[in-house]
Amino acid sequence: MKKLPLILLSLFFIISCNENNDKKTISTEREPNSFAIVIHGGAGGIKREYFTEEQQKAYAEKLQEALDAGYAVLEKGGISLDAVQAAINVMEDSPLFNAGKGAVYNSEGNQEMDAAIMDGKTLNAGTIAGVNHIKNPILAARIVMDSSSHVMLSGKGAEIMAEKYGIEMVDSSYFFTEKRMNQLKKIQGKEKTELDHTAYLIKNELIDDHKFGTVGAVAIDKTGNIAAGTSTGGMTNKKYGRVGDVPIIGAGTYANNLTCGISATGTGEYFIRTVASHEVSSLIKYKKYTPSEALNEVLFNQIGPLGGEGGMILLDKYGDVYWDFNSTGMFRGFKKSNGESKVEMFEKSE
């Protein structure tokens, strides 16, 4: 019987050593000079059967082009803010996405675009809302952050400042695309064939009248600084003056070096009501959730029950990439300095 305490003590010592050894194998530090970028091109009723092979190829190639643009900045030692901006610029210049060139029409037949960018080190942020003559809204958001004492400028004021600092302005005709105009006409005329929730197929093109195509990026540079940015045209047929979650810091866009950077896409009103991006960060910081747990909690237990739909991309302070969505699909991809790279569009099990 005297030997029993000694045996138990020995077992406890062995188990403790094993646990400590296991903990050493779990990385809790970012590799020196490592970097990464993750992007999204919108979430919603995105199913493989809605796209021709040609359309799938076009989206995959444009997502890869955006990733490569942001990655190139980081690889050369550039800052995460510039990488985010470069990636989003590519998607804003493409009619494939609901941002910039491909922005949807509001109920008045005009574009009203929103954008945001945030620095995870300083918590500085710049956002714009309701603009319709700025070619690349993300550039204007950056100007608000870097060259003003404000966080958000809207409408005419945002455009005046953007033009003052040399941001390219365009006539509203630049944003015209037949696909987006057809969306507006079909929705306003209620001449649509329902396929899945808010997704419609008209002339072999996917129509989503709420949330399809918002773009975003999150990056971490070689110094470990995180930045996040998002750009959108909002919702087709939205009311004049409607502002979504994208330019509201903590709702659709957030970055904090203590936790992570996030860009969201979906039905913006629900991301605003749950302060979704900040909520994910807070769950990680205060409740010690893993990024995957935090994303799942917000998307499926907070936004979902309210009727909201969409997705979020996340890059944490260790340079690890995460994403989740409660819709049928989300355009997404990442590229890391360790060689890992991926572009996905449809179900999570791709």
Q: What is the pLDDT of residue 322?
A: 98
- Per mean pLDDT, which range of 46-60, 90-104, 128-142, 187-201 is the poorest? 187-201
Detail the residues annotated as belonging to a binding site for substrate.
242-245, 265-268
Query: Which residue in 127, 198, 214, 236 is the catalytic one?
Result: 214
The answer to whether the beta carbons of residues 173 and 148 sit under 8 Å apart is no
Residue whose pair of structure tokens reads 């340079």 in the numeric block: 319
pLDDT of 120 above 60: yes
Between 111 and 149, the more confident residue is: 149
- Could you give the CA distance from residue 111 to residue 238 in angstroms, rounded to a whole number? 10
Q: What is the pLDDT of residue 294?
A: 98
pLDDT tens for each residue of 22-79: 333 335 788 888 999 999 999 988 889 989 999 999 999 999 999 999 999 999 999 9
Of the pLDDT bands very low, low, confident and very high (cuts 50, 70, 90), residue 249 is very high
Mean pLDDT of 251-258: 98
Of the pLDDT bands very low, low, confident and very high (cuts 50, 70, 90), residue 301 is very high
Detail the residues annotated as belonging to a binding site.
242-245, 265-268
| Structural domains present in the chain | 42-344 (3.60.20.30)
Q: How far apart are the first and last CA of the chain?
A: 58
Q: What is the pLDDT of residue 349?
A: 59
Between 31 and 162, the more confident residue is: 162
What is the overall mean pLDDT for the chain? 86
Query: For the sheet containing 199-202, what is the strand order?
Result: 194-196, 199-202, 205-208
pLDDT tens for each residue of 74-101: 999 999 999 999 999 999 999 999 999 9
3 state DSSP class of 37? strand
pLDDT of 8 above 90: no
Q: Which of 180, 215, 262 is nearest to 41 (CA)?
A: 215
- Could you give the CA distance from residue 178 to residue 165 in angstroms, rounded to a whole number? 32
Supply the pTM of this predicted model. Answer: 0.85
Residue 230 a catalytic site member: no
Mean pLDDT of 275-287: 98
